[in-house]
Amino acid sequence: MELLRPSNVDQLDEGVYIHGGTEVVPLLRDGILSGERLVDIRGLVPRGVRDATIGAGTTLAELEVDPQIPAALREACRLAASPQLRNMGSIGGNLLQATRCWYWRLKYPCRLHGGDTCFAREGEHREHAIVANDFCASAHPSDVAAALLALDARVRTSQRELPLAELYHVPDEADRNVTRLAAGEVILELELPPVEASVYLKAMDRKKWSFPQVGVAAARAGGETRIALAGVAPVPWLLESADALASGDEWATPLPRTEWKVPVARALVRRAVAALG
């Protein structure tokens, strides 16, 4: 494999992009990712926080202690992974991390690997999705993406600018991708609009080093509250409103062994809204 280190976007070739490598290295090792070129993008992706702009190369460890960063994003970073991983892992890489679905990681020929079966739906799915889980029942693992979605962040890439919500796509038969990033496109920066208050709450298996079973981010801006969830759908999930959960269970379509996530999500949303005051 050839290693390239471009220093600006004009020199960028297509290939496997790597920043901190906390996700790319295990996937290469396990043969899930492969290619002829490994492109180290650290030389061209901005790092650091300037007013409301976050360089996509900023690490989670830098964000969790930065007072300029809204509370929901700081907390989502602080509760993610382990200190070592947060020191290496960039926010851009976090948004693009692949599913933790064990069937996918074990290379079962499932729908996200181009096959015609979702093994999790019939098999073991305790950690899986409770919403939009028809085609693929994976649960999006990023705490950070849920926080940014509640904060209504915008993404600047090497080709365009878009709301964070549009970065993601619920996989289906026609398009099995979970993101809409084009080949050769890199995330450069994230832009945060002003926010009055925000919070991130996370249910986890252990107190540390654990992906979200359910994560709930809530943010209030201009008198409106946005709520986004991690760990409940194949993509970070924006709730239409807090009331959507209060009124009944119709918003969720859990699998037999993911039903437990429904009351957890409801309780965390209630607590998050209360915490906003």
Report the distance separating Cα 44 and Cα 56, nearest Å: 10
Taking the complex as a whole, how short is the minimal distance between the CB of residue 106 and ligand SF4, in angstroms? Answer: 9
Contact between 93 and ligand FAD (CB under 6 A)? yes
Site stretch for ligand SF4 (CB under 6 A), options 44-52, 68-76, 107-115, 156-164: 107-115
Contact between 58 and ligand FAD (CB under 6 A)? no
Taking the complex as a whole, how short is the minimal distance between the CB of residue 112 and ligand SF4, in angstroms? Answer: 4
Among 39, 56, 72, 110, binds ligand SF4 (CB under 6 A): 110
* Count of residues interacting with ligand SF4 (CB under 6 A): 14
Binding partner of 119, given ligand SF4, ligand FAD, none, CB within 5-8 angstroms per partner class: ligand SF4
Contact between 80 and ligand FAD (CB under 6 A)? yes
For 121, other C-beta atoms within 10 Å of its C-beta total: 19
Task: Give the residue among 19, 83, 5, 85 at the shortest CA–CA distance from 57.
Answer: 19
Long-range contacts from 156-161, C-beta under 8 angstroms, 24+ separation: 156/187, 156/188, 156/189, 156/190, 156/191, 157/181, 157/185, 157/186, 157/187, 157/188, 158/9, 158/12, 158/184, 158/185, 158/186, 158/188, 159/185, 161/191
Our CB check for ligand FAD shows the closer of 121 and 233 to be 233
Report the distance separating Cα 277 and Cα 272, nearest Å: 9
Our CB check for ligand FAD shows the closer of 64 and 251 to be 64
What are the tokens at 22? 């906390």
CB 87 within 8 A of CB 61: yes
- The beta-strand segments (E) located in 89-204 are 154-157, 161-163, 187-191, 197-203
Contact between 85 and ligand FAD (CB under 6 A)? yes
Contact between 111 and ligand SF4 (CB under 6 A)? yes
What are the tokens at 220? 């209030």
Taking the complex as a whole, how short is the minimal distance between the CB of residue 224 and ligand FAD, in angstroms? Answer: 25
**SS3 for 20-59, per residue?**
CCCCHHHHHHCCCCCCCEEEECCCCCCCCEECCEEECCCE
CB 49 within 8 A of CB 69: yes
Q: Measure CA 177 to chain center.
A: 14
What are the tokens at 64? 């969790």
Binding partner of 154, given ligand SF4, ligand FAD, none, CB within 5-8 angstroms per partner class: none
Contact between 131 and ligand SF4 (CB under 6 A)? no
Site stretch for ligand FAD (CB under 6 A), options 1-9, 19-27, 169-177, 259-267: 19-27
Contact between 88 and ligand FAD (CB under 6 A)? yes
Backbone φ/ψ region at 81: left (φ over 0), alpha (ψ -120 to 50), beta: left
Contact between 144 and ligand FAD (CB under 6 A)? yes
Find the binding residues for ligand SF4 in span 85-104 (CB under 6 A): 99, 101, 103-104
Contact between 89 and ligand FAD (CB under 6 A)? yes
Residues that bind ligand FAD (CB under 6 A): 16-24, 41, 45, 56, 60, 80-81, 85, 88-90, 92-94, 96-97, 141-144, 186-187, 210-211
Residues that bind ligand SF4 (CB under 6 A): 99, 101, 103-104, 110-112, 118-120, 128, 136-138
